[in-house]
Structure 1
Amino acid sequence: MKTTHRLIAAAALAACSMGAYAQKGETVKIAWIDPLSGLMAPVGSNQLKSFQFFAEKFSKTNPAGVKFEVIGIDNKLSPAESLNALKAAMDQGVRYITQGNSSGIAGALVDAVNKHNARNPGKEVIFLNHSAVDPDLTNAKCSYWHFRFDADTSMKIEAMTSFMADKKDIQKVYLFNQNYSHGHQVAKFAKENLARKRPDVQIVGEDLHPLAQVRDFSPYIAKIKASGADTVITGNWGSDLALLVKAANEGGYNGKFYTYYTGVTGTPTALGQNGAGRVYQIAYGHYNMGGQMDKWAAEFQKRFNDDFYTHSVIRIYESLGAAMAKAKSTDPVKVAAALEGLTFNTFNGEVQMRKTDHQLQQPLYMTVWQKADKKFPYSPEKTGMTLAPVKDIPAYVASTPTSCQMKRPG
């Protein structure tokens, strides 16, 4: 079976061995490298459909006049498999890659892309990061070839704790995260921000658990209950959040959850009708954005019987189209230069790809899990519930400083 999968991936890549320097009307290939197997496969499958769905949309409307095509490669949530996928893509002429599920994998890909580009002038690759939020990727490990379209953890925790600062019912917090770079950073920034904004709040417990390996979180829920925590902060995603909230429901934990990824595949179903008013999400978008976003969400749901939530996909296509039009080229060297400092309008207003570190500057939203209603009607996974916005955080408030010392070509 593994051999078959490799042959299929190789065949797909062989079909896309055109040069990267397409002109108007030609096709720009993007290699999507994320999980399609294991516990996180439902998230990866949803995101691959999202990339392919919007490739169709933006192939018709982008100002560069190019066509986008996405090639999905299963990395099995493994850095080694991801590096193999990157090499296979580059060997076949693909010059744009995207990944986002696991900041650890993102870090490995950044290092590999940097080395490849230094050694292979004329065959440079751009890494479009859709969801990996470790701040180091745009600070100590920043790269000219890496562009992040999600908000990093320092930005999300800044916005989250600003919201929490006024909630006097929050007194005892438990930090619960996955044991890799992303989870470590969530805990680190949560402690720093709470100490600055709410020094009266106690951190009563902290746990790091293996990524995508735990199937029963009930022992952890028992520890959280025993700690007396009234609030849990977690950066968990995919099955690690869905199974956590399922265990909380079954274990009778009635505290609040402050999360990044409540709206992601599996978690709405795990919550069901539970958690109303107690589960919050900080993100750069939500299910009830209005306007064109609502139309796209409805079309996506109808076509795939699934929910669209990785809004960074849209910004990737918007910025690529704008940068390629500005550069009058799809050469990654020229497109990277055009992406730096690029300001463009998107589904929630004007955003900017900060030149200093290639971190998109954008507004964030705090939402709460509640019953869907006429004002906020979209119901993920047909639960009858939704994530309703309770606070908008402008880009200038969510923005955080960077220590990036960018090394630019030439």
Structure 2
Amino acid sequence: MITPRARALPDRHANHTSPISTNCRSLLDEFQWNPVLVVETPKSLGVRVKIRSRASLVTAVTSSAILVMAGCSSSGGSGGGTSGQSGSSPVKIGVVVTLSGPLAQIGQSHLAGAMLAADQLNAKGGADGHKIELVQKDEKADPQATVTDVQQLLGNGVKLVLGGTTDSDCLGAAPLISNAGGVLIGTSCQTNLLETTKFVPGFFEVAPTNYMLSKATAQYAHDHFPDVQSWDGIGPDYEFGHEVWSSFQTDLKALQPSVSFGKNVFVPLTETQFGSYVSSLTSGLPSDSATTKGLFMSLFSAPTVGLAKQGKSQNLFGRYAAVLNLGGSTPTAQALGADTPPIYFIYDYYDGAYDNPTNTAFVSAFKSANNGDAPNAWAYEGYTAVMAYANAIEKAKSVDPLKLRDALAGMSFDTPKGNLTFRKEDHLLMSPVTVWHAVGDASAPGGFKITSSEAIPASEVLPPVNVGK
């Protein structure tokens, strides 16, 4: 599991002054601190923060201490609002991701990617001279916590935000941020609604949408498993799981009219006991299911691992001709090791699928910063979101959120997946969908190997522009 390291960013430029309150200035003088990274997490997590000071002090701080420093580090106690910054002052980006609970690896990976991007940018002087500061929040994969985190960021004047683990997170956060004149770059929320009926001008999407993922999965099933005539499904019991199962059926039926669909099982997002769900899928399977039936999965992270481990005794995956995991990613195989069943991950990014200089440099730098771990799809999303902001700042020659909206819409920039463009009309990043096959192999590093990978071009899976429809 990737555990991001909180690091200090370079000191603020000497010519930047902020009207800090008398009490806050006294506190700063007393301890001789110069805060350069604001980190906000639940007290239960804690975080180690390097604070650059005259004494080069490194101290462990709790969220209460961080909040005190956050209140002291900005003009008028606003938390360093982006809209009022000028000259070469730092720009703060809120990182609202899941850092605790069963889905913590997703947010930790988002943060690790974002931190790498910030480090790289700051080492080169920042974005158009503005150093990047990340303000992290733990949304706990809880939409209400997401809303609370966003309200706190906006209250502190931070109007540039990235994050979102589930569709519900972004559906709650996007209108708040947009109505406040800010920008949210969604990382792992893929709902179609934010490009259609729930579109708001301040939201931009990095990950492929559910439409794109479902269409890619159906195309792959049709092309590679034409003998599979029936598909069962299992997915998380919230909007994403229901939306992609419905879309997969529609898309595959259009390609293969004779196909049928059997059982579908929906699992609570934070479920840890999967025995009854495994039994529900396997009961009544025909004797030839290993050659005639496929399993469509939209579980991800810890639930996928739990299903695989608890389904092993009933040979769950071995009783299907193919297992296609929409939204799955390499960390599943890393957790299962040699017990990884043959599984096709269909999602955003796999580091071995893209051969270009930007990806080569990204993978190398990420490994160096994270104890040799390769970046997963979530790390790619965090990295790409920060780089999108940096490119928009360079393009707009401003950190004003409204100007950055204009810069992002239609903007093309280099990513580890190649040069990509935010579609101007609905702010969707026109990005390939990645498919890669993993299988357990005790002799391979980590106990598993990737046997194949491919990128399905965005042009083959993009939805039509349907803003407001």
Residues 245 and 270, structure 1, Cα contact 8 Å, conserved in 2: no
- Residue 153 (structure 1) aligned with residue 222 (structure 2): no
| Equivalent AA in structure 1 for residue 235 of structure 2 | N
1:26 corresponds to: 89
How far has the Cα of 1:7 moved from its partner?
2.1
Q: Taking structure 1 as reference, are residues 28 and 264 closer, same or farther at Cα in structure 2, changes over 3 Å only?
A: farther
Provide structure 2 residue ranges, at least 5 long, that are not aligned to the other structure: 1-40, 45-61
Q: Taking structure 1 as reference, are residues 319 and 2 closer, same or farther at Cα in structure 2, changes over 3 Å only?
A: closer
In the alignment, the residues of structure 2 paired with residue 371 and residue 353 of structure 1 have an alpha-carbon distance, to the nearest angstrom, of 37
1:300 corresponds to: 366
How far has the Cα of 1:97 moved from its partner?
1.2
In the alignment, the residues of structure 2 paired with residue 315 and residue 2 of structure 1 have an alpha-carbon distance, to the nearest angstrom, of 26
2:161 corresponds to: 97
How far has the Cα of 1:12 moved from its partner?
5.8
1:173 corresponds to: 231
How far has the Cα of 1:11 moved from its partner?
3.6
How far has the Cα of 1:264 moved from its partner?
4.8
Judge which range, 187-196 or 230-239, deviates more. Answer: 230-239
How far has the Cα of 1:300 moved from its partner?
2.9
Q: CA RMSD in A?
A: 2.7
Q: Taking structure 1 as reference, are residues 6 and 303 closer, same or farther at Cα in structure 2, changes over 3 Å only?
A: closer
2:133 corresponds to: 69
How far has the Cα of 1:72 moved from its partner?
1.5
Q: Taking structure 1 as reference, are residues 138 and 51 closer, same or farther at Cα in structure 2, changes over 3 Å only?
A: same
Q: Taking structure 1 as reference, are residues 392 and 242 closer, same or farther at Cα in structure 2, changes over 3 Å only?
A: same
1:120 corresponds to: none
In the alignment, the residues of structure 2 paired with residue 333 and residue 185 of structure 1 have an alpha-carbon distance, to the nearest angstrom, of 32
Deviation track 1:338-367 (CA, whole Å, cap 9, x = no partner) reads 111112232232211011111110122211
In the alignment, the residues of structure 1 paired with residue 65 and residue 98 of structure 2 have an alpha-carbon distance, to the nearest angstrom, of 16
Question: So what's the TM-score if we normalise by structure 1?
Answer: 0.87
Q: Taking structure 1 as reference, are residues 354 and 19 closer, same or farther at Cα in structure 2, changes over 3 Å only?
A: same
- Residue 40 (structure 1) aligned with residue 109 (structure 2): no
2:145 corresponds to: 81
Residues 296 and 326, structure 2, Cα contact 8 Å, conserved in 1: no
Residues 150 and 284, structure 1, Cα contact 8 Å, conserved in 2: yes
Judge which range, 241-250 or 285-294, deviates more. Answer: 285-294
| Equivalent AA in structure 2 for residue 87 of structure 1 | Q
Q: Taking structure 1 as reference, are residues 24 and 172 closer, same or farther at Cα in structure 2, changes over 3 Å only?
A: farther
- SS of the aligned residue for 2:338 comes to coil
Q: Which has the higher contact order (CA 8 A, sep 6+)?
A: 1
Tell me which of 422, 425, 442 is aligned to 1:353. 422
Judge which range, 63-72 or 354-363, deviates more. Answer: 63-72
Matches within 5 A, 1:8-407: 8=65, 10-11=67-68, 13-14=70-71, 15=73, 17-21=79-83, 22-23=85-86, 25-61=88-124, 64-115=128-179, 117=180, 124-166=181-223, 167-212=225-270, 214-228=271-285, 230-253=293-316, 254=318, 255=320, 256-265=322-331, 267-275=332-340, 278-288=342-352, 289-290=354-355, 291-305=357-371, 306-309=373-376, 310=378, 311-370=380-439, 382-405=445-468
Q: Taking structure 1 as reference, are residues 10 and 294 closer, same or farther at Cα in structure 2, changes over 3 Å only?
A: same
How far has the Cα of 1:126 moved from its partner?
0.7
Residues 432 and 456, structure 2, Cα contact 8 Å, conserved in 1: yes
| Equivalent AA in structure 2 for residue 154 of structure 1 | Y
How far has the Cα of 1:371 moved from its partner?
6.7
The structure that has the greater radius of gyration is 2
Residues 262 and 268, structure 1, Cα contact 8 Å, conserved in 2: no
Residues 32 and 70, structure 1, Cα contact 8 Å, conserved in 2: yes
- SS of the aligned residue for 1:272 comes to helix
Residues 20 and 94, structure 1, Cα contact 8 Å, conserved in 2: yes
Residues 121 and 132, structure 2, Cα contact 8 Å, conserved in 1: yes
Residues 328 and 347, structure 2, Cα contact 8 Å, conserved in 1: no
- SS of the aligned residue for 2:244 comes to helix
Residues 165 and 198, structure 1, Cα contact 8 Å, conserved in 2: yes
In the alignment, the residues of structure 1 paired with residue 141 and residue 127 of structure 2 have an alpha-carbon distance, to the nearest angstrom, of 34
Residues 9 and 73, structure 1, Cα contact 8 Å, conserved in 2: no
Q: Taking structure 1 as reference, are residues 203 and 242 closer, same or farther at Cα in structure 2, changes over 3 Å only?
A: same
Deviation track 1:124-154 (CA, whole Å, cap 9, x = no partner) reads 2111101101111211111100000110010
| Equivalent AA in structure 1 for residue 465 of structure 2 | T
| Equivalent AA in structure 1 for residue 304 of structure 2 | L
Residues 176 and 234, structure 1, Cα contact 8 Å, conserved in 2: yes
Deviation track 1:73-119 (CA, whole Å, cap 9, x = no partner) reads 1122222221111111111121111122111121111232244x2xx
Residues 52 and 69, structure 1, Cα contact 8 Å, conserved in 2: no
In the alignment, the residues of structure 1 paired with residue 284 and residue 334 of structure 2 have an alpha-carbon distance, to the nearest angstrom, of 27
- SS of the aligned residue for 1:131 comes to coil
How far has the Cα of 1:404 moved from its partner?
0.9
Q: Taking structure 1 as reference, are residues 170 and 100 closer, same or farther at Cα in structure 2, changes over 3 Å only?
A: farther
In the alignment, the residues of structure 1 paired with residue 212 and residue 300 of structure 2 have an alpha-carbon distance, to the nearest angstrom, of 18
Deviation track 1:234-289 (CA, whole Å, cap 9, x = no partner) reads 22122111111222333212123211343254x1134322456x311122320313
In the alignment, the residues of structure 1 paired with residue 237 and residue 453 of structure 2 have an alpha-carbon distance, to the nearest angstrom, of 30
Residues 368 and 389, structure 1, Cα contact 8 Å, conserved in 2: yes
How far has the Cα of 1:211 moved from its partner?
1.0
Residues 162 and 185, structure 2, Cα contact 8 Å, conserved in 1: yes
In the alignment, the residues of structure 1 paired with residue 194 and residue 416 of structure 2 have an alpha-carbon distance, to the nearest angstrom, of 25
In the alignment, the residues of structure 2 paired with residue 64 and residue 227 of structure 1 have an alpha-carbon distance, to the nearest angstrom, of 62
Judge which range, 99-108 or 309-318, deviates more. Answer: 309-318
Question: So what's the TM-score if we normalise by structure 2?
Answer: 0.76
Q: Taking structure 1 as reference, are residues 157 and 9 closer, same or farther at Cα in structure 2, changes over 3 Å only?
A: farther
In the alignment, the residues of structure 1 paired with residue 151 and residue 131 of structure 2 have an alpha-carbon distance, to the nearest angstrom, of 23
Residues 238 and 264, structure 1, Cα contact 8 Å, conserved in 2: no
Deviation track 1:354-390 (CA, whole Å, cap 9, x = no partner) reads 1111111012221111478xxxxxx8xx524243544
Would you say how many aligned residue pairs link Structure 1 and Structure 2?
Answer: 390
Provide structure 1 residue ranges, at least 5 long, that are not aligned to the other structure: 118-123, 373-378
